[in-house]
Structure 1
Amino acid sequence: MSGIRRVQVLVVGAGRAGLAAGHHLRRAGPAPASVPAGRIADRLGVRGPVLVLAAGVDALAAAYGSFTIDTAGIAMLAVPFVLAGAGIGSVETAQHSAVAALAPKDLCGSAFGLLATAQSLGNLAASTVAG
């Protein structure tokens, strides 16, 4: 079942309130994940942010991959939304700390500028493709 189909099932099975709940789970997920992700990155040393970033990408892949599982159970539909939120919190935390840890001090501003450019272009492409 495609991600779009899962959302349709969620809307039919739980109505607009269910869809809103899933959206809020995804939006609320980064908040509790961000601080622990940052602490783990700090404990792992210089490569910590890169490892946390990879773990966040893995969580996002698992979340979006799980949208293909055929289920109409509301609890099972909540899992990918929560996992996506945790992945977003990890990625957003780790990408900034990775730039700070890995960029040469004299190029740190340029490195953050490049990160911001990449994020903006990604947001533009996503909005163009998905609306």
Structure 2
Amino acid sequence: MTPQKQNRGFTLIELLVVLAIVATLLSIVAPRYVHQTDRAKEAALKANLSALRRVLDEYYGDMGEYPENLLALTERHYLRALPVDPMTNRSDSWVPVQGTDEDDKTVVDVKSGARGKALDGTEYNSW
């Protein structure tokens, strides 16, 4: 009698157990990953808004008045380019806030043009 070769491989049960373990790990990790990217976008939005507001203040300090539009910040080399709003992935979605007087058409502040709510429940366009 000759010895028979044993087939080396995984049984169906072993494969199902491994797939169940992988699925369980993914169900734990995937939601955390999604929230991390949202948190990173929100942090980038806050940083970009802070930079734009700082540049508006610098422009006012140098010129004695606020700019007529946001493009004036790049034309006068206060910024190389307008930053990208990470929520809309566009640099032209910023919403300029004009002065309080009816005659005042200058940009005194800037808001995000993104729709939706942040993780803390506030609207993006209220930041």
TM range (shorter): 0.3 to 0.5
**What TM-score, normalized to structure 1?**
0.34
Higher relative contact order (CA 8 A, sep 6+): 1
Higher helix share: 1
| Higher strand fraction (1 or 2) | 2
